[in-house]
Chain A
Amino acid sequence: MEEAKVIIFKSEAEMPTMAASLANTLYNKTGSWRYMRPLYVDKTPPCNDACPAGEDIVGYLGLIRQGRYREGWEFIMQENPFPGVCGRVCPHPCESQCNRTELGEAIAIHVQERFLADWAYERGLRDLKGLKGIPSDPLDPSVPSVAIIGSGPAGLSCAYQLVRKGYSVTVFEAQDKPGGMMRLIPEYRLPREILDHEIAAIESLGVEIRTGVQLGRNLSLDDLKDYQAIFLAVGQSVSRKLGVLGEDAAGVLHGIEFLRRLDQGEKPSLGSRVAVIGGGNTAIDAARSARRLGAEVSILYRRSRHEMPAIYEEIEEALEEGVQIEYLVAPVEVLTEKGKVSGLKCTRMELGEPDESGRRRPIPVVGSEYIIEVDTVIPALGQVADLSFLGKDIKAERERIVIEDSGATTRLPVFAGGDVATGYGTVTHAVGSGKRVALAIDRLLRGETLEGFPPLDRNVHTVPRDMDPTVVGFEDLNLAYFEEEPRPRQARAPAEERVRDFTEVNRGFDEEVAVTEALRCFSCGTCNQCDNCLIFCPDVAVLRNGDERPYVFDYDYCKGCGICFAECPRRAISFEEEIKWKK
Chain B
Amino acid sequence: MEKVVTGNYAVSWGARLSRAQVIAAYPITPQTSIIELLASFCADGELDARFIKVESEHSAMAACIGASAAGARAFTATSGQGLLLMHELVHWAAGARLPIVMGTVNRAVSPGWSVWTEQNDTLSQRDTGWLQYYCEANQEVLDTVIQAYKVAERILLPVMVVLDAFVLSHTSEAVDIPDQDKVDGFLPPYRPELKLDVNDPHAFGPIVTPEHYMEMRYKMQKAMEEAVSVAQEVDEEFGEVFGRRHGLVEPYRLEGAEVALVTSGTVTSTSREVIDELREQGVKVGLLKVRLFRPFPAVAVRQALAGIPKVAVIDRNISFGHGGIFAQEVKSALYNVDGVHRPPIFGFVAGLGGRDVTPEPIKEVISTTLANDAPPEEILWIGVKK
For the complex, what is the distance from the CA of A120 to the CA of B232, rounded to whole Å? 73
In the complex, which of the residues A11, A17, A20, A540 contacts B206, with contact meaning CB atoms closer than 8 Å?
Answer: A20
Q: Nearest A residue to B207 by beta-carbon distance? A: A19
Q: Give min CB distance, B159 to chain A, whole Å.
A: 16
A19 lies within 8 A of B215 (CB): no
Q: A19 contacts which chain B residues (CB < 8 A)? A: 95-96, 204-206, 208, 216
For the complex, what is the distance from the CA of A22 to the CA of B201, rounded to whole Å? 10
Could you give, for residues 170-214 of chain B, a 1 whenever the CB lies within 8 Å of some chain A CB and a 0 otherwise?
Answer: 000000000000000000000000100010111111101001100
Q: B320 contacts which chain A residues (CB < 8 A)? A: none
Q: A23 contacts which chain B residues (CB < 8 A)? A: 202
Q: Nearest B residue to A540 by beta-carbon distance? A: B198
Q: Give min CB distance, B265 to chain A, whole Å.
A: 32
Q: B194 contacts which chain A residues (CB < 8 A)? A: 16-18, 20
Whether, in the assembled complex, A581 has its beta carbon less than 8 Å from a beta carbon of chain B, the answer is: no
Interface core residue of A17, A22, A23, A24 (most chain B CB under 10 Å): A17
Number of A-B contacts (CB under 8 A): 53
A20 lies within 8 A of B219 (CB): no
Q: Nearest B residue to A22 by beta-carbon distance? A: B202
For the complex, what is the distance from the CA of A46 to the CA of B268, rounded to whole Å? 67
A12 lies within 8 A of B202 (CB): no
Whether, in the assembled complex, A8 has its beta carbon less than 8 Å from a beta carbon of chain B, the answer is: yes
Q: A24 contacts which chain B residues (CB < 8 A)? A: 200-202
For the complex, what is the distance from the CA of A28 to the CA of B98, rounded to whole Å? 25
Whether, in the assembled complex, B218 has its beta carbon less than 8 Å from a beta carbon of chain A, the answer is: yes
Whether, in the assembled complex, B39 has its beta carbon less than 8 Å from a beta carbon of chain A, the answer is: no
Q: Give min CB distance, B191 to chain A, whole Å.
A: 14
Q: Give min CB distance, B100 to chain A, whole Å.
A: 13
For the complex, what is the distance from the CA of A11 to the CA of B211, rounded to whole Å? 11
In the complex, which of the residues A12, A18, A21, A540 contacts B215, with contact meaning CB atoms closer than 8 Å?
Answer: A12
A12 lies within 8 A of B218 (CB): yes
Interface core residue of B98, B194, B200, B211 (most chain A CB under 10 Å): B194
For the complex, what is the distance from the CA of A18 to the CA of B216, rounded to whole Å? 8
Interface core residue of A9, A11, A16, A28 (most chain B CB under 10 Å): A16
B212 lies within 8 A of A21 (CB): no
In the complex, which of the residues A15, A20, A25, A28 contacts B205, with contact meaning CB atoms closer than 8 Å?
Answer: A20
In the complex, which of the residues B203, B211, B219 contacts A25, with contact meaning CB atoms closer than 8 Å?
Answer: B203
Could you give, for residues 129-143 of chain B, a 1 whenever the CB lies within 8 Å of some chain A CB and a 0 otherwise?
Answer: 000000000000000
Q: Give min CB distance, B221 to chain A, whole Å.
A: 11
B201 lies within 8 A of A25 (CB): yes
For the complex, what is the distance from the CA of A26 to the CA of B201, rounded to whole Å? 7
Could you give, for residues 2-16 of chain A, a 1 whenever the CB lies within 8 Å of some chain B CB and a 0 otherwise?
Answer: 000000110110011
Interface residues of B in 316-347 (CB under 8 A from A): none
For the complex, what is the distance from the CA of A15 to the CA of B222, rounded to whole Å? 14
B202 lies within 8 A of A25 (CB): yes
A-B CB proximity, top 4 nearest: A12-B215, A21-B203, A540-B198, A18-B97
CB pairs A–B below 8 angstroms (21 shown): A8-B211, A9-B212, A12-B216, A12-B219, A15-B212, A15-B215, A15-B219, A16-B194, A17-B156, A17-B223, A18-B98, A18-B204, A19-B96, A19-B204, A19-B216, A20-B204, A20-B205, A22-B202, A23-B202, A25-B201, A26-B201
Residues of A at the B interface (CB closer than 8 Å) are 8-9, 11-12, 15-26, 28, 540
